[in-house]
Amino acid sequence: MKKTGRKSPGAPEDRRSVPAGTLEATPEEKRTILRARAKSLAQEPARKERAEEYLDVLAFLLAHETYAIETASIREVYPLTDLTPLPCTPDYIFGIINIRGQIITIIDMKKFFDLPEKGITNLNRVIVVREEDMELGILADEINGIRNIPESGLNPSLPTMTGIHAGYIKGVTGEGLILLDMERFLNDRQLIVHEEVGE
pLDDT in tens, 3-17: 444 544 444 444 444
Q: Are 158 and 129 in contact (CB under 8 A)?
A: no
56: pLDDT confidence band, cut at 50, 70 and 90?
Answer: very high
pLDDT value, residue 161: 62
Q: What is the mean pLDDT of residues 133-159?
A: 88
pLDDT, residue 180, reads 94
How big, in percent rounded to 5, are the helix, strand and coil portions of the chain? 25, 35, 40
The 10s digit of each residue's pLDDT in 67-89 is 999 999 999 999 998 899 989 88
User: How high is the pLDDT of residue 95?
Assistant: 94
- Give the whole-angstrom CA distance, residue 20 versus residue 4: 22
End-to-end CA, the chain: 124
Considering the entire predicted model, what is its pTM? 0.68
pLDDT tens readout for residues 173-186? 988 899 999 988 88
Highest mean pLDDT among 8-22, 35-49, 86-100: 86-100
Average the pLDDT over each of 16-20, 132-136, 168-172, 184-188 and give the range with the smallest value.
16-20
Residue-level pLDDT at 52: 61
Q: Is the pLDDT of residue 147 over 50?
A: yes
Q: Is the pLDDT of residue 120 over 90?
A: no
Whether 96 contacts 86, CB under 8 Å: yes
95 vs 81: CA distance, rounded Å = 11
The CATH class that applies to domain 54-191 reads mainly beta
pLDDT at 16: 46
Q: Write down the domain spans for the chain.
A: 22-51, 54-191
118 contacts: CB under 8 Å, gap ≥ 6: 63, 110, 141
Instruction: Report the C-alpha gap between 21 and 157 in whole angstroms.
Output: 60
Q: For residue 19, is pLDDT > 60?
A: no
Residue type, 114: D
| Distance in angstroms (rounded) separating the CA atoms of residues 190 and 179 | 20
